Amino acid sequence: DVKVTQSSRYLVKRTGEKVFLECVQDMDHENMFWYRQDPGLGLRLIYFSYDVKMKEKGDIPEGYSVSREKKERFSLILESASTNQTSMYLCATTATDPLDEQYFGPGTRLTVT
Amino acid sequence: RKEVEQDPGPFNVPEGATVAFNCTYSNSASQSFFWYRQDCRKEPKLLMSVYSSGNEDGRFTAQLNRASQYISLLIRDSKLSDSATYLCVVNREPAGTASKLTFGTGTRLQVTL
């Protein structure tokens, strides 16, 4: 079974803080993704990575950066958290086959106050 | 116009009923299609892929109509355990590249006794 873990289930941060969200997968998948999910907006892609040290912007990259130093780990960084970044953040992974399903982590509920 | 549109529901149906969801997509070049299921406060999980010829998995049937750009999901003999949000998902990228999925906002199903 694919296992995707995220560093925290719930996180509360203050405006202006730097926030790190970590995602680790154990299936040797090449592709990893970060989404945020908001009511009425669905899941929106922030960034994805198809290889170590490779990254591409998704649909809403503003205010975020990512890091992929090892194949199994993909980090999302909020350089200076703002209240409009309060959301559920979901990491996902998939093998290179584009028709393969995406496996999601349990999510991190981030609240920025 | 949203890339993927779904009726948010909720659909409230009695156990044993048949229920159908539709989803429309705007990009005629979309390559592959999926239904994901998301339980309350959980991550999305793949329910089934949607093939051009239509496909069935037990009580679930998925259909694709490329000409009209819509996807459907039919659930027969609904169970209480089918209560969840069903996400229509479209892959925007050509085959052979890392999958970039566009998620609908989901249709909520509540099956009652």
pLDDT in tens, chain A (113 residues): 769 999 999 999 999 999 999 999 998 888 999 999 999 898 999 999 988 989 999 999 999 999 999 999 999 999 999 999 999 999 999 887 655 788 999 999 999 99
Interface of A with B in 54-113 (CB under 8 A): 58, 90, 94, 96, 98-102, 104-107
Spell out a b/e string for B5-22, using b for 16 or more CB atoms within 10 Å of the CB, else e.
bbeeeebebeeeeebebb
A35: part of which helix (H) or strand (E)? Answer: strand A31-38
Instruction: Spell out the SS3 assignment of chain B.
Output: CCCEEECCCCEEEECCCCEEEEEEECCCCCCEEEEEEECCCCCCEEEEEECCCCEEECCEEEEEECCCCEEEEEECCCCHHHCEEEEEEEECCCCCCCCCEEECCCEEEEEEC
Smallest Cα distance from A15 to chain B, Å: 25
Size of interface A-B (CB pairs under 8 A): 57
Taking only the tens place, the pLDDT of each residue in B46-80 is 999 998 888 999 999 999 999 999 999 999 999 99
| Phi-psi domain of A9 (left: phi exceeds 0; alpha: psi -120 through 50; beta: other) | alpha
B27 touches chain A (CB under 8 A): no
Tokens representing A80 are 């200076």
Is residue B96's pLDDT more than 60? Answer: no
Of A40, A41, A104, the CB nearest to B44: A104
Distance CA A28, CA A72 (A): 6
Is residue B92's pLDDT more than 90? Answer: no
Tokens representing A18 are 């730097």
Percent of chain B scoring above 90 in pLDDT: 76
CB-CB under 8 Å, B101 with A102:
yes
